[in-house]
Copies of this chain bind each other. A is one copy, B any other.
Amino acid sequence: MAELPLTAPLFHVLVSLADEDRHGYAIIKDVEDRTSGDVRLSTGTLYGIIKRLLADGWIAEARSRRPTDDDERRRYYRLTPAGRDAALTETARLERAAAQARAALRPRRAQTT
């Protein structure tokens, strides 16, 4: 992987973990919240992405610091420095792309067809 641009689902997983450590199900809910329902990850999508992110060292499992009354099943993930870098680079790319698009999409005067 390690390739930019990142796909939207993968990017949102990264951003979700930038905040704080989260477990799978929490990521799904968080991404849905943050994007106002625009991005809904299915479990198939999420766990595939997690597998790839782990393999690339962009996230790591965080076993420590679980509240005592936590659900046993939960597996928490944490963004690594490499993952944070990737997310930052992609964010910059997104900002450039959006600015580009704004400029290009500005209402035109009389397109002489």
Contacts and interface: CB of A to CB of B under 8 A. Distances in A.
Chain A interface secondary structure, helix, strand, loop or mixed?
A: helix
Q: How many copies of this chain does one complex carry?
A: 2
Nearest to A16: B104
Interface of A: 4-5, 7-8, 11-12, 15-16, 18-19, 34-36, 38-39, 62, 64-65, 84, 87-88, 90-91, 93-98, 100-102, 104-105, 112-113
Contacts of A16: 104
A5 B8 contact: yes
Contact of A100 (B15, B65, B102): B15
Contacts of A84: 105
B91 A101 contact: yes
Nearest to A89: B38
A27 B34 CA distance: 33
B101 A87 contact: yes
Contacts of A34: 100
B94 A18 contact: no
